[in-house]
């Protein structure tokens, strides 16, 4: 059964931390491919200002094009509306029922998991991979993790990934201030941002 990673996010902008995490997961779990899925509207970021979906999609396409094991899906952008992971995974499973899916997320997403739509159904359709900073400790007794289905812990893998301290929020602010973002973004993504005047608000 082919093992495929699914990496969802706003990707505003996609940065080297995202790419490093995806490559680490791919190698450590021996995945055939990692599919990046830009969100249309994140349910946790309703009311937030985002770059147009065409810009976020193109930045991801630029960032991953030199890695033959990375791909991009427009499934959430085409569907429109609020992007719920469980619906996306269900559609991907319907497209490729023989694939074993691994949904890649950060620790912040795991800590919000109790607020996700249909967690029980989600965890039956895919495995979770939580990428963490080296040395980060997680306990299932943490208050906001109480009440998660036991199956979540059986079907979740934790991987330490160096360099996860890069944040898209910080990058947007640095770009707005005219500060350097070299070595935080791929050169192609940085050029695209400059040429399209993104984040100069």
Q: Is the peptide bond preceding residue 13 cis, with omega within 30 degrees of 0?
A: yes
pLDDT band per the 50, 70, 90 thresholds, residue 146: confident
In this prediction, residue 48 carries a pLDDT of 66
- What is the mean predicted confidence (pLDDT) over 189-193? 97
Asked if residues 5 and 102 have their Cβ atoms less than 8 Å apart, the reply is yes
DSSP 8-class letter at 194 = H
pLDDT tens-digit map of 149-179:
889 999 999 999 877 678 999 999 999 999 9
Q: What percent of the chain has pLDDT over 70?
A: 95
In this prediction, residue 199 carries a pLDDT of 94
Domains (range + CATH), the chain: 3-195 (3.40.50.620)
pLDDT band per the 50, 70, 90 thresholds, residue 200: confident
Angle made by CA atoms 150, 102, 99, in degrees to the nearest 5 = 115
pLDDT tens-digit map of 75-109:
999 998 889 999 999 999 999 999 999 999 998 89
């Amino acid at each position: 059964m082919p093992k495929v990673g699914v990496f969802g996010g706003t990707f505003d902008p996609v940065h080297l931390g995202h790419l490093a995490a995806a490559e680490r997961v791919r190698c450590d779990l021996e995945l055939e491919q990692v599919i990046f899925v830009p969100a249309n509207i994140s349910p946790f970021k309703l009311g937030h200002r985002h770059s147009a979906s065409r810009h976020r999609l193109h930045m991801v396409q630029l960032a991953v094009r030199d890695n033959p094991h990375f791909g991009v899906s427009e499934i959430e952008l085409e569907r429109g509306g609020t992007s719920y992971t469980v619906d996306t995974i269900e559609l991907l499973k319907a497209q490729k029922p023989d694939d074993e899916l691994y949904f890649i997320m950060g620790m912040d997403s795991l800590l919000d998991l109790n607020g996700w739509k249909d967690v029980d159904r989600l965890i039956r359709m895919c495995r979770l991979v939580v990428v963490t900073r080296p040395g980060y400790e997680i306990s299932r007794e943490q208050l906001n993790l109480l009440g998660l289905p036991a199956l979540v812990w059986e079907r979740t893998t934790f991987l330490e990934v160096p360099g996860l301290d890069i944040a898209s929020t910080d990058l947007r602010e640095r770009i707005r201030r005219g500060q350097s973002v070299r070595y935080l973004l791929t050169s192609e993504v940085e050029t695209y941002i400059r040429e399209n005047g993104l984040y100069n608000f």
